[in-house]
Chain A
Amino acid sequence: MKLSIKGRQSMWAYIFISAPMLFFLCIRIYPALYAFNVSLHKWDLLSKNKPFVFLDNFMDLFHDQVFKASLINTGKYILFAVPIGLALSLGIAMLLNSITKGASVYRMVVFIPYVTSIVAVSWVWRWMFMKQGGLINNVIGLFGISRQPFLDSTSQAIYVVISNIIWQALGFYTIIFLAGLKQVPKTYYEAAMIDGASPWQKFKNITIPLLNPTIVYLSVMATIQTLQVFTQVFNITSGGQGIAGGPLNSTVSVVLYIYQLAFVNYKMGYASAATVVLFIIILTISLFQMKVLDKKYDN
């Protein structure tokens, strides 16, 4: 049988992806299905019995105040960390793009937070945002603002964590944005200059449209990652010895709650149910974002 060009290409496509797909099936998809299955069971991680309870875990989740709080908090993480992080890093990338001398040093500086140990830096964060004598309170004190409780406040603690998430992610976003900016042909800007366009017009009419694929790609990735925020919340709000999640669950994220359910309370079935809910949320949001992305490619 002779294959057409398309047929031959698709044969090679299957060959190229077979090994990695097999790997994914064993290492990622099978465990995920395993978790989905566990979500229908009541399973104390230490116990050999896993009675089937059908949707009981999901019903319990529905009434769980902490889970509800974790969903709302995760929403806040997304709403603040993603847009602010992306906007700031786009700004930094544009600044970096406009200089030549010492550019590599500045790039390194922006990238440093991304490589710094989260455990170590969380400790620094707790010191900076300490209520009594912390650096941030000293600085805002200079402007006559009274001392803030920060991590000891149910309303402020989450923003302290968000500030750390943004700080750490900026390096990653900036590098990708920088890559995107480098591909915008300089001639576009030169043409706009001749037309007498203002910097804002140039930004709005040239930079943003041409960067669109990068922006969409980064928002998809940033959203997926932030929806699963765990390490920062865990390290900053556990205070080294306490229970993570902030005062009165004010910073607890969905994944942190899942982690606590699974590995502290050993309620594996219940934790799996929460995972399924999170999965559905992420999938929905991502598919929506991907749709936007695919549209761009059609044009």
Chain B
Amino acid sequence: MSKYNKVFAYVALTIIGIIMVFPFLWMISTSLKTGVDIYSPSIIPKSVTLNNYARVIEDSNFLVWFKNSFVVAGITTVSVLCFDTLVGYTFAKLPFRGKNFLFIIVLSTLMIPTEMLIIPWYMMSNTLGWINTYWSLLFPGLTSAFGIFMMRQFFMGVPDDILEAGRIDGLSEFGIFLRTAMPMVKPAMSALGIFTFLGNWNAFLWPVIAVDKPDIYTLPVGLALFSGESYNQWDLVMAAASLATIPVLIVFFFFQKQIIEGIHMTGLKA
């Protein structure tokens, strides 16, 4: 690639990067502001204070909510990685009757907005005594059609002869999946892991209905306490929201390399 092109790429990416981070930086900057300064349309604080962070951590149950969110997002991510990978593989590589029909059923579950599932979920949880438990926060996210669809696409890129070789070697069907196929889609699994973790980390609509004790709130539910009838404590919202992005960025940082590097082995293949 020519030097000229490279310079162009860096300049373009830097401009795009600035646009992409700017609102994020504004959020951080607001979290460092104090008093009416938070309402000035300027990104540079008049004076910098960590007071908002201190208040969020000391005056609210922030650390407990943080932990709850981490547990919920962590468990759902592991569960999704196990189930969605296996189901995605089955849809991609194993022959069985009713496959297309079942796959469309799975996909169609993506087409009902979560908003409409809340009432049936609540009734179910209420009858079964799940309300106010970790389980009630967890159960809707244990598998996701989004992940099944994604893994199906990636497994389709795995050549059949590799799996056949496993069969000839006498591996069981599960063994073929685990030893032969899965290692080839690890990058996709990393991506799925990030997106699942993030989705559950940010989930709000269901958790706010499912639990009613502050010590079992997840982070987004806890953050909602900073919004009131007549005004929102934006300084605290911004501080808490900034803190909330840290773990996700860390998760991303650890997984991203794997997504990018390993993917060319398999990936989405025509």
Contact = CB atoms under 8 A, between A and B. Distances in A.
B13 A10 contact: no
A240 interface: yes
B109 interface: yes
B23 A13 contact: no
A144 interface: no
Contact of B41 (A21, A110, A133, A221): A133
Contacts of A134: 41
B112 A135 contact: no
A8 B187 CA distance: 29
Contact of A228 (B113, B143, B195, B249): B113
A224 B146 CA distance: 10
B107 A286 contact: yes
Interface string B113-152: 1011101110010000000000000011011011011100
Interface string B228-270: 0011101001100110110011001100110111011011111
B115 A116 contact: no
Nearest to A260: B115
- Tell me the interface secondary structure of chain A in the complex: helix
Contacts of A171: 20
Interface stretch (B47-55, B56-64, B70-78, B98-106): B98-106
A98 B5 contact: yes
B260 A107 contact: yes
Interface in B194-243: 195, 198, 202, 220, 223, 227, 230-232, 234, 237-238, 241-242
Contacts of A24: 105-106, 109, 143, 145
Nearest to B29: A124
A279 B237 contact: no
Contacts of A255: 113, 115
A179 B154 CA distance: 11
Interface of B: 1, 5-6, 9-10, 12-13, 16-17, 20-21, 23-24, 26-27, 30, 41, 83-84, 86-87, 89-91, 94-97, 99, 102, 104-113, 115-117, 119-121, 124, 139-140, 142-143, 145-146, 148-150, 153, 156, 167, 173-174, 177, 187-188, 191, 195, 198, 202, 220, 223, 227, 230-232, 234, 237-238, 241-242, 244-245, 248-249, 252-253, 256-257, 259-261, 263-264, 266-270
The list of the 3 closest CB pairs from A to B, nearest first, reads A31-B120, A117-B241, A10-B96
11 contacts: A6-B95, A10-B95, A20-B84, A27-B139, A27-B142, A98-B1, A109-B21, A167-B23, A179-B259, A217-B153, A259-B115
